[in-house]
Structure 1
Amino acid sequence: MTQRLQDILGKLYRPPADGGREVFALSRSDAERLPPLPSIAVISITAPERPPATIGDFAHVLRLSFADVDFLNPDLSDKARGKLAHAFTDEHGQAIRSFVEALPGDISSIVVHCEGGFSRSCAVAIALHRLYGYRVEPQHLSKANPSIVRMMAGDVLGHGALKKTRR
């Protein structure tokens, strides 16, 4: 078990005493090793070409599939352009927001995972921090996909025009 996963497990077993919520970004392999604690919700992000992650029996799980591409970057490589058809959409953003807004009060932590735990999951974690004030560990979110952050936070409008909501 990696040190990062051990650190996060320690925090998941000891939720914030003040009732605040926190969000963690993990890799798929680390998320698949999480114990199904009742205080955790999971946002499981997989690549379109990959099968769903094998995560525990969590009561609150949102499964999404989209490619890791910085779709708002005007200087996309040919490889990145090939992923645009499977990029993050307004519908993905709305699904995340609806999921989070419907969580019961006894959920103290959200774990977001993607394949590597660096880009898509970190972007969603940053967006949840900006939109809802969830606690994050910013030092672990530096490689977040900027297009997902911008779209989720309402800084840009995509197909279907997400609106910025704070609750």
Structure 2
Amino acid sequence: MPQRLQDIIGKLYKPSLDGARQVIALSRSDAERLPQLPSIAVISIVAPERPPANLGGFTHVLRLSFADVDFLNPNLSARAKAKIVHAFTEEQALAIRSFVESLPDEITSVVVHCEGGYSRSCAIAVALHRLYGYHAEPQLLSQANPSVVRVMTGDARGHHKLRKVRH
């Protein structure tokens, strides 16, 4: 088992002393190998063309599907523009907020995964840290998708709302 995954599993077994939840961003492959602890909730993010992650028997799981595109960037490539129809939405941001707000007190860790564990999952982790004070390791979240962070924190509208505004 890679050292990073061992370190993360160690953190999942140790709740924080101050009672705040922790949020951890992982790759899909690492998330699929986590122990199914009752203290963990999972936000599972896959690309629209990918099947759901194999997460076994976690009780608290939110499954989302959206493309990894920085849709608020004015200099989108042609490839990114093709993905914008599947970009993160305000409705998905609301679903995430509702999910974490409804978690029982015994949940001490929220694991967020996407395919590589760098962009979409890091964006959600950054937002949960900012919105709810979840413990996070900011140095590991530096590649967070800026558009997802902005929509999650209310600093911007999701791509669907932007299209409706531009009649």
**Do both share a fold (TM > 0.5)?**
yes
Matched with 2:165 is none
The Cα of 1:83 is off from its aligned counterpart by 0.2
| Alignment correspondent of 2:86 | 86
How many residues align structurally?
161
Q: Deviations over 1:66-91 (max 9, x none)?
A: 00000000000000000001000011
| Match of residue 124 from structure 1 | 124
- Where structure 2 has 5 or more consecutive residues not aligned to the other structure, the ranges are 163-167
Determine if the alignment matches structure 1 residue 13 to structure 2 residue 17. Answer: no
Letter in 2 for 1:59: T
| Residue 99 of structure 2 is aligned to residue 99 of structure 1 | yes
TM-superposed deviation, 1:100: 0.4
Q: Distance in 1 between matches of 2:151 and 2:54?
A: 28
1:35/1:56 contact within 8 Å kept: no
In the alignment, what sits opposite 1:157?
Answer: 157
2:108 aligns with 108
Secondary structure, counterpart of 1:79 in structure 2: helix
Question: Are the equivalent residues in 2 in contact too, given 1:34–1:56 (CA < 8 A)?
Answer: no
Q: What amino acid maps onto 2:109 in structure 1?
A: S
- Aligned-pair Cα RMSD in Å: 1.1
Q: TM-score, normalised by structure 2?
A: 0.94
Work out the CA distance in 2 between the residues paired with 1:156 and 1:19.
30
TM-score after normalising by structure 1: 0.94
In structure 1, the residue corresponding to 2:129 is in which secondary structure? Answer: helix
CA contact (8 A) 1:27 1:117 kept: yes
SS of match in other structure, 2:64 = strand
1:19 CA drift (Å): 1.3
**C-alpha distance in 1 between matches for 2:9 and 2:161:** 37
The Cα shift of 1:160 comes to 5.5
